[in-house]
Amino acid sequence: MKISLWTDTEDEKQAILDLTKKTFGDIEIANQSYFDWQYRNNPYGKAIISIAYDDSNDLIVGTSTLTPEKLIVDGEELLSSHSCNVQVHPNYRKQGIFSKLLLSMPEFALANNIHSFYGTPNNNSFKSLINEGSIEIAHLPLLVRPIRFSRYFCFPIKQILKLFDILWKKKKLFSYNMEQLDSDFDDSFEILAKKTSNRVSVMHNRTKEFLNWRYKNHPTRKYQIFTLKENNELLGYVITKIHYLDKKRIGVILDYMVDADFEDKTQLKSLIDKAISYFWDNEVSVAIATSRNGLLENDLLHRSGFLKVPSFLKPEPLHFTIQIFDDNKKHVKLTKFDNWFFVFGDYDVF
């Protein structure tokens, strides 16, 4: 068994896609255009993929991936990465391949000037990440708001709760300058992100290039984006997606950012009200978001009816892990969740 770094050839690409289909089935990440988008077209650099190769069968049997991510840490840019899409061929499991792949990542990452990575692993991957040097800094808070709550259930509960759905409907009273973003992200989003970085220690660098890649150029997903402006100045935005879970429509707030210096917080909250109205019109059952305590965005979500789900009711714990490869003091900031501005759009699930 040999562990090596991918060389970005078409043959390797096809072998990795074949492994993905063998491991997970014909799902989104096995799509060729998705592969190119995530691994090759990231504006912060190509993915670092660690490959487990069985020479005897001329077969790729496992991969572990880091996608480069630029963070703003106390006002300075820092190149980090996101750990994702770890997979091992079903016939090669329980042979320590997963651990070997994880152990190879620091060397490959440091060679590309990446000194840390964060992960949002499922329960299956979580223990291996912790065993190989990652630390868990939080369970991401899950905020939930009923929309057409009856649609989350089956008959007869659905019919009973349908009588109460109207209680969750938002009145469509949007007198502010709110628009759907049909064009590309522009400099105004970078200006707003810069303001936000002044009130948090750690956040993703939301350049217009990154935002366009993440939300406008995605090959398989469609996002709805609403902006709030006054005198042509961007006061905030909300990015939404309708996600299907067991044929149920779930409204996801991927990113929600506002100008905390703006005095009229009711205007800023109206972005969430707009998202809720959009979800209602599209017959969503519940809406979800993540935002930590202490942020204005978290407060405005709560004012709009979002409630934090207790840990024992979560389908999964929503682990948030960090691994640091050096002793740079800047990286220490990453290990405390209270330093972060982190939303669902900051990783690749939605």
Residue range 182-228, pLDDT digits in tens: 999 999 999 999 999 999 999 999 999 999 999 999 999 999 999 99
State the burial class of residue 162 (Cβ atoms within 10 Å of its Cβ: 0-12, 13-18, 19+): middle
Average pLDDT over residues 37-45: 97
Query: For 140-157, how does the pLDDT look when each residue is reduced to its tens digit (9 = 90+)?
Result: 999 999 999 787 777 666
**Count of domains observed in the chain:** 2
- Domain assignment present for 154: yes
pLDDT reading at 172 higher than 70:
no
Q: Which domain holds residue 232?
A: 143-308
Entry pTM: 0.93
Among 106-115, 217-226, 310-319, which stretch is predicted with the lowest mean pLDDT?
310-319
- Domain assignment present for 319: no
* Calculated CA dihedral for residues 27, 32, 33, 34, nearest 10 degrees: 40
pLDDT reading at 174 higher than 90:
no
For 215, which DSSP code?
I
Among 156-160, 209-213, 300-304, which stretch is predicted with the lowest mean pLDDT?
156-160
Tell me: do 279 and 175 sit in the same domain.
yes
Give the separation between CA 189 and CA 254, rounded to whole angstroms.
Answer: 15
- Domain assignment present for 170: yes
Residues 330, 74 contacting (CB under 8 angstroms): yes
Average pLDDT over residues 155-163: 66
Tell me: do 169 and 112 sit in the same domain.
no
Tell me: do 121 and 268 sit in the same domain.
no
Give the separation between CA 18 and CA 275, rounded to whole angstroms.
Answer: 38
Q: What CATH number does residue 282 fall under?
A: 3.40.630.30
**Position 150: which residue type?**
S
Tell me: do 91 and 207 sit in the same domain.
no
Among 34-43, 55-64, 159-168, which stretch is predicted with the lowest mean pLDDT?
159-168
Tell me: do 53 and 67 sit in the same domain.
yes
Cis peptide before 156 (omega within 30 of 0): yes
DSSP states of 52-108: EEETTTTEEEEEEEEEEEEEEETTEEEEEEEEEEEEE-GGGTTSSHHHHHHHHHHHH
Tell me: do 62 and 209 sit in the same domain.
no
pLDDT at 141: 96
DSSP 3-state assignment of 239?
strand
Tell me: do 250 and 266 sit in the same domain.
yes
Tell me: do 149 and 279 sit in the same domain.
yes
Mean pLDDT of the chain: 92
Give the separation between CA 289 and CA 147, rounded to whole angstroms.
Answer: 13
pLDDT at 155: 65
Tell me: do 171 and 254 sit in the same domain.
yes
Give the separation between CA 37 and CA 50, rounded to whole angstroms.
Answer: 18
